[in-house]
Structure 1
Amino acid sequence: MPEISIRGKQLPESSIRKLVPFADAAKDKGVHVFHLNIGQPDIKTPAHAIERIKNFDFDLIPYGNSAGNLSYRTKLAKYYQSHNLDVEARNILVTTGGSEAISFAFKACFNPGDEIIIPEPFYANYLSFAQESDIVIKTVTSTMEDGFKLPAIEKFEEVITDRTKGIFICNPSNPTGYLYTKEELHALELIVKKHDLYLLSDEVYNEFVYDGKKHCSVLSLENIKENVIMIDSVSKHFSACGVRIGSLVSHNKNVINTILKFAMARLCPPILGQEVAEAAFDSPPEYIQEVYKEYLKRRDYCINRLNNMNGVYAPMPQGAFYSIVRLPIDHCDKFCQWLLESFSFRKQTIMLAPATGFYKTEGAGINEVRIAFVLKVEDLEKALDCLEEALKVYPGRTNK
């Protein structure tokens, strides 16, 4: 039998999705599973975006522009301009989700063996995208005790080599909910300029920033405009994960023109998805305001409830809708599987994402999980009831 490729063998399973077979088995036994493992909100997509699907009036569904529909890119540019960012349609490429934007950026900007520095914990799929592109992730570790703030710039300098070609952040962060300050971005600006690196920033949660804080985009860093690549997506803005429409924004013409060649090879981003996304950007301001208020309510309930559990600690996220949570358990992978395979409370259980998949450092995150507060408070209450009861009876509970 022919062999599977080395790349295929080495590619990690998603820590967010790898336990799905256990969740399906639990459901088959009649157990209700609360999914806090994945950033799939239960908030409705804007009604008029749904109507755009219902009223889709093409006689056929054609290929589109490889860069994305001009009308949609123009609307995106106006959205960024409303946030005081100097962006034109020519600076934007539409992608099949933010995932494709990251993958394209990796392939276009880095050679095999090049290194990119990412603060950990980081979104688990970054590791997969890097391995697919044959580039190496070097990490600097942020800590729960510091609220997962940006590690000291000296830590970045310590891991920079002659193969280092970029730094990659997520702001606000998935999985921690940390929001980088202007001062932290300025520190990154200086090191990027000093070493002539790319600075990539995943900003798909930029609308969800709490406690009066403000999101600062890397696109506002005037001294490194040619070095910056920003990733965005409508998945979280408008609770439209399945339309698979993301975007990549850069003022670097060589980057845009090179990534466009990759975009041409995959022909075009989804036409129907772009129609939905374009309609979604016509949502009244009240839509985002109400969604924001709902996430704020969910965050406050979830984090306060977690911190009232014996042996549990959850930093308060400043953005997005995730938190890395420390639990009194021996190993998160074992615990998350046990929740689905061996535990239920009132015929219910909870699915979490083991935090080991969000670190590259061996042994990091073994007593942590990522929780996504994407369900309404009534469901969060039931889900966290399950977690609290599970921690009382879990065989691998520790005294930490």
Structure 2
Amino acid sequence: MSIKIKKMWCIMQVSKRVLQLKDSPLRKLTPLIEAKKKEGKTFIHFNIGQPDLETPQCFFDAIQNFKGNNVPYAPSLGIPPLIEAIQGYFKHQGISFKSNEIIVTTGSSEAIFFVMNAICDPFDEVLIPEPYYVNTVSFMKQLDVVVKGIPTYASDRYHLPSMQDIETHITPRTKAMLLTHPNNPTGTVYSEYEMEMLKEIAIKHHLYLVVDEVYTGIVYDQIPSRSFASLEDLDDHVVIIDSVSKRYSSCGARIGAIASRNHNLMKEIGKLAQARLSAPTLEQIGAVALYNIAPSFIKKTAEIYECRRNVMVNALKDIEGIHVSVPEGAFYCLVDTPFHSAEAFALWCVEHFHVNHESIVVAPAQDFYSNPKSGAHQIRLAFVHDVVVLEKGLNLLKEAIKQYTFVQKGINV
């Protein structure tokens, strides 16, 4: 005998954890952009830090030379040749890591997620200078970790406040400070004084100092810069995050690394690495070749981006109503616009603005702050195009700002 069950129409529930996550401000316009492309509109993308420079050929050659007839899991902590290559990369900077002090990850995103998972319990706190890389907050929310922003300002080129100011944000639940060096989205390169100050805070308050160094070497104006791993007396505190994505234009390879001399922490992170089995095998083989590239390659890459930075900054200074803090490193400009809602401006550029069916995509910066109002008027621009495309895109931006100013006043354009 069969029993008929009447279907009850209802919405299947999802977790509260995922509901508290926001769409990425860097990618949430993608569906609309793709729809507009089908209508014949083209875009110059300033919103994503996707380098346009060629990935070094050695990456592809290494994968092509793979001789196996089966692609196996890699060791959970990373293939030995890659760990050795990462050791060599740090050695060029005068920094020594043992093989058991490095874990290979599936990109720097997984690295940050692993580190915070190993450091923090739910409702613990992490201090991050703001504005910050927005995806970091998403990782924290997935772990129920509280992000406490340390305000920095364009008038100071987004350098850190005093030690006393930073210490006002520290509570008994504070476990770590997390920063990107050079910084995304501000381009700030932390000075020797700032590094020593953070060292003192970490020791005094027993905090981890987690530093995302994926933009290492992309520094301008001959500003001195070194890895936080080179600081003395911080072996138990410092955790370095690295990746092949930015320096080697290999974002899609999804190969990153964690480096720390805190053996107890690395042991626990190793459990997380085992649980996800391994990072991609073939991409690790390719990454060996990337990490073995001579440091002169990174210097030449930085020179290309410095030229692009100069083009972008000079063009932005020529746009009425715009203010830009000159970035010292990485490849982003954080820009003050004359609009109360840069998000609305970004949407308008995609939906309505074009010159001969060509437009731009910018990243609104409100979600780069713990209080969205602080960045509501800002956009982040990535200078990841050659100079010709940059100049074209910046001319479009200038026209878009001019037209949107009229739109704001209710004047048809």
Interval of TM-score (by shorter of Structure 1 and Structure 2):
over 0.9
- Aligned partners of 1:273 and 1:396: how far apart in 2? 48
Question: What is the identity, as a one-letter code, of the residue corresponding to 1:272?
Answer: L
Q: Which residue does the alignment assign to 2:226?
A: 216
Q: Which residue does the alignment assign to 1:295?
A: 305
Out of 122, 137, 146, the residue aligned to residue 136 of structure 1 is 146
Q: Which residue does the alignment assign to 1:156?
A: 166
Out of 324, 327, 332, the residue aligned to residue 337 of structure 2 is 327
- Aligned partners of 1:306 and 1:156: how far apart in 2? 32
Moved more, 86-95 or 122-131: 86-95
- Aligned partners of 1:223 and 1:15: how far apart in 2? 38
- Aligned partners of 1:284 and 1:266: how far apart in 2? 32
Out of 371, 386, 390, the residue aligned to residue 396 of structure 2 is 386
Q: Which residue does the alignment assign to 1:84?
A: 94
Q: Which residue does the alignment assign to 2:408?
A: 396
Q: Which residue does the alignment assign to 1:52?
A: 62
Question: What is the identity, as a one-letter code, of the residue corresponding to 1:297?
Answer: C
Q: Which residue does the alignment assign to 2:350?
A: 340
TM-score by length of 1: 0.97
Question: What is the identity, as a one-letter code, of the residue corresponding to 2:307?
Answer: K
Q: Shift in Å at residue 55 of structure 1? A: 3.0
TM-score by length of 2: 0.94
Cα shift readout 1:97-129 (whole Å, capped 9, x = no counterpart): 000000000100111110011010000001101
- The answer to whether the aligner puts 1:181 opposite 2:191 as a matched pair is yes
Question: What is the identity, as a one-letter code, of the residue corresponding to 2:311?
Answer: Y
Out of 112, 121, 134, the residue aligned to residue 102 of structure 1 is 112
- Aligned partners of 1:229 and 1:383: how far apart in 2? 38
- Aligned partners of 2:53 and 2:194: how far apart in 1? 32
Cα shift readout 1:64-107 (whole Å, capped 9, x = no counterpart): 11000111101110110110112122211000000000000010
Q: Which residue does the alignment assign to 1:9?
A: 19
Are the equivalent residues in 2 in contact too, given 1:36–1:373 (CA < 8 A)?
Answer: yes
> In the comparison of the two structures, how many residue pairs are matched?
398
Q: Which residue does the alignment assign to 1:235?
A: 245
Q: Shift in Å at residue 27 of structure 1? A: 1.1
- The answer to whether the aligner puts 1:265 opposite 2:265 as a matched pair is no
Q: Secondary structure at the match of 1:235?
A: coil
- Aligned partners of 1:310 and 1:177: how far apart in 2? 22
Question: What is the identity, as a one-letter code, of the residue corresponding to 2:277?
Answer: L
Are the equivalent residues in 2 in contact too, given 1:329–1:397 (CA < 8 A)?
Answer: no
Q: Which residue does the alignment assign to 2:257?
A: 247
Question: What is the identity, as a one-letter code, of the residue corresponding to 2:321?
Answer: G
Q: Which residue does the alignment assign to 2:360?
A: 350
Residues 304-323 of structure 1: matches in 2 within 5 Å? 304-323=314-333
Out of 3, 28, 34, the residue aligned to residue 18 of structure 1 is 28
Q: Runs ≥4 in structure 1, deviation > 6 angstroms? A: none
**CA distance change for structure 1 residues 199 and 286 in 2, over 3 Å: closer, same or farther?**
closer
Question: What is the identity, as a one-letter code, of the residue corresponding to 1:383?
Answer: G
Q: Shift in Å at residue 193 of structure 1? A: 0.7
Q: Which residue does the alignment assign to 2:42?
A: 32
Are the equivalent residues in 2 in contact too, given 1:26–1:33 (CA < 8 A)?
Answer: no
- Aligned partners of 1:370 and 1:176: how far apart in 2? 9
- Aligned partners of 2:352 and 2:134: how far apart in 1? 26
Q: Shift in Å at residue 285 of structure 1? A: 4.5
Question: What is the identity, as a one-letter code, of the residue corresponding to 1:176?
Answer: T
Cα shift readout 1:141-197 (whole Å, capped 9, x = no counterpart): 100111100122222111111111111111000001000011101011111111101
- Aligned partners of 1:340 and 1:137: how far apart in 2? 31
- Aligned partners of 1:308 and 1:153: how far apart in 2? 36
Q: Secondary structure at the match of 1:145?
A: helix
Are the equivalent residues in 2 in contact too, given 1:96–1:269 (CA < 8 A)?
Answer: yes
Are the equivalent residues in 2 in contact too, given 1:172–1:205 (CA < 8 A)?
Answer: yes
Question: What is the identity, as a one-letter code, of the residue corresponding to 2:76?
Answer: S
Q: Shift in Å at residue 286 of structure 1? A: 4.7
5+ residue gaps, structure 1, are: none
If you compute each CA radius of gyration, which structure gives the higher value, 1 or 2?
A: 2
Q: Shift in Å at residue 54 of structure 1? A: 2.9
Are the equivalent residues in 1 in contact too, given 2:49–2:384 (CA < 8 A)?
Answer: yes
Question: What is the identity, as a one-letter code, of the residue corresponding to 2:169?
Answer: V
Moved more, 325-334 or 121-130: 325-334
